Amino acid sequence: MEQETLLAQAGSRNDPVTGALSAPIYQSATFRHPALGESTGYDYSRTANPTRTALESTLAALDGGSRACAFASGMAALDAVFRLVRDDARRRVVVTEDPYGGTVRLLDQLFRPSGLVPTYVDTADTGAVEAELARGDVSLVLAEIPTNPLLRVADIAALARAAHGANALLAVDNTFLTPVLFRPLDHGADIAVYSATKYLGGHNDVVAGAVVCRDDALGQRVAFVQNAAGAVLGPMDAWLLLRGLKTLALRMERQAENALAIAEFLAAHPRVTAVRYPGLAGDPGHDRLLRQARGCGAVVSFEVDDAERVPHILKRVEIFSFAESLGGVESLITYPAVQTHADLAADVRDRLGISNRLVRLSVGIENVSDLLRDLETVLE
């Protein structure tokens, strides 16, 4: 089955009794047992819930994985991935140096005190990752593709070979591209991890996360963490996500189309000094991303000529909303240095070029001429 079909019919065949096309919301914490030692397959909703199962099987199929686990947020999903590191001799995790800010907070403030050692490197530089792996104490590599907000592009197949050569796992935070544009497991990654709050949900109405594993044994370990630590996605939110997924392929296509038009407009604007969008032919990540992925997503970062202009832009936008997220049908504008990336150290932000002149757009599905006019007005 092609992805569009799988998506359109997400959850549609999960109720053979009534034939409900929309997966029922099983708002039940517990399930009656037929007899001692017997189960319908569902005992207690932390362990498994039928609405969540409908979602998880869709997510596993979408990524070509053997198992998917849905979590209460993207951070809970990442937390479950980091909990897989339990080898006392190999406590190091190599992570993209410009990751989602919450990933840094989780690693530095929650995992580091319990002995896990995060090392941040440019994962777009395979050699830099190999040099870390050569130290022999790395259990896990986590790469974001493309990174955010600088949109640097790693070579996932090369990272997978390097990680496996050193007996480490490769996890890819694929929030920005989604399985519609890129399937990390096809390129050798062991784990795809998502903030489903973003494109998978797509409507800025649910906070959710997911972990998809290539092999079943690893999937079972993630499911163990999901049940043991308990940061599960509730049935209502699982249903919202199933509902959002139905239009994922269409949304990604329209959002990427709008994003390219906006990136081209910004690149030609006299008050814009730099644009980062891998869909632009001149972008450093362009060729490398399109060798691996079917599209470039819809996040566009740009720098204005003067930081004083930024508050004015954020206040005056009328079609874009000044809000901290991405991936939904509504276009958003974010200020990474003070919002999403505030948890990076100031010197790291400077070195990475996350300056106070950098603004990030999440482009939605609106009519692009309205979006362009909005930007034109605030850049005047």
Ligand X SMILES: *Cc1c(COP(=O)(O)O)cnc(C)c1O
CA angle centred on 198, ends 97 and 111, rounded to 5°: 40
Residue number with CB closer to ligand X (78 or 262): 78
Min CB(281)–ligand X separation in Å = 25
CA quadruple 238, 341, 81, 68: dihedral positive or negative? positive
Min CB(299)–ligand X separation in Å = 9
Q: Dihedral through CA 87, CA 89, CA 91, CA 93, nearest 10? A: -90
Min CB(76)–ligand X separation in Å = 7
Widest distance between CA atoms in the chain: 74
Cβ proximity of 225 and 84 under 8 Å: yes
Min CB(289)–ligand X separation in Å = 16
* Cα–Cα distances in angstroms (integers) from residue 325 to residues 93, 236, 331, in the given order: 26, 21, 10
Catalytic residue (one of 198, 243, 251, 349): 198
Min CB(102)–ligand X separation in Å = 5
Is residue 69 within a helix (H) or strand (E), and if so which, with residue range? strand 67-71
Residue number with CB closer to ligand X (363 or 379): 363
**Known catalytic membership, residue 88:** no
Residue number with CB closer to ligand X (233 or 319): 233
CA distance 353 to 347: 10
Residue with tokens 């207690």: 44
Residues in contact with ligand X by CB under 6 A are 73-75, 100, 102, 144, 148, 173, 175, 195, 197-198, 207, 209
Region of 208 please: left (phi>0), alpha (psi -120 to 50) or beta: beta
Residue number with CB closer to ligand X (209 or 364): 209
**Known catalytic membership, residue 100:** yes
Catalytic residue (one of 26, 100, 194, 277): 100
The amino acid occupying position 323 is A
Residue number with CB closer to ligand X (14 or 197): 197
Active centre residues (catalytic):
46, 100, 173, 198
